[in-house]
Amino acid sequence: AQKVTQAQTEISVVEKEDVTLDCVYETRDTTYYLFWYKQPPSGELVFLIRRNSFDEQNEISGRYSWNFQKSTSSFNFTITASQVVDSAVYFCALSEANYGQNFVFGPGTRLSVLP
């Protein structure tokens, strides 16, 4: 069955620190997709990135980077030089191409960036 674990419930950092949010997944499928979403205090979830299981290249987008490692079933998200506006709940999600019928979201990690 699909499962997504985000072991860090809450993280607090001081502005300009780097922070990594962990995501570990379980799947029996060989083709699957991983996602990160941001939910700021306003409440609306915002899509950040999608990665398919055949593409293990790390991705960088500005201060954001993602490290996908199939060997450890992890898809970690790093924010470099964090800013107060990064404060939000971050969700990792998984969908399976062949077995799953829907998305499975992790429980989320609440990130607080303090000035």
Partner 1 sequence: GAGVSQSPSNKVTEKGKDVELRCDPISGHTALYWYRQSLGQGLEFLIYFQGNSAPDKSGLPSDRFSAERTGGSVSTLTIQRTQQEDSAVYLCASSFGSYLSYEQYFGPGTRLTVT
Residues 85 to 104 in contact with partner 1, rule: CB under 8 A: 91, 95-97, 100-104
Residues 14 to 33 in contact with partner 1, rule: CB under 8 A: 33
Closer residue to partner 1 in complex, CB, 39/80: 39
Beta strand ranges found along the chain (DSSP E): 3-5, 10-14, 19-21, 24-26, 32-39, 46-52, 59-61, 64-69, 74-79, 88-96, 104-105, 109-114
Closer residue to partner 1 in complex, CB, 80/100: 100
Please report, for residues 14, 17, 62, 84, the alpha-carbon distance to residue 108 in angstroms, rounded to integers and kept in the order given: 20, 20, 22, 18
Residues 47 to 76 in contact with partner 1, rule: CB under 8 A: 47, 50, 52
Give the interface with partner 1 as residue ranges (CB under 8 A): 33, 35, 37, 42-47, 50, 52, 91, 95-97, 100-108
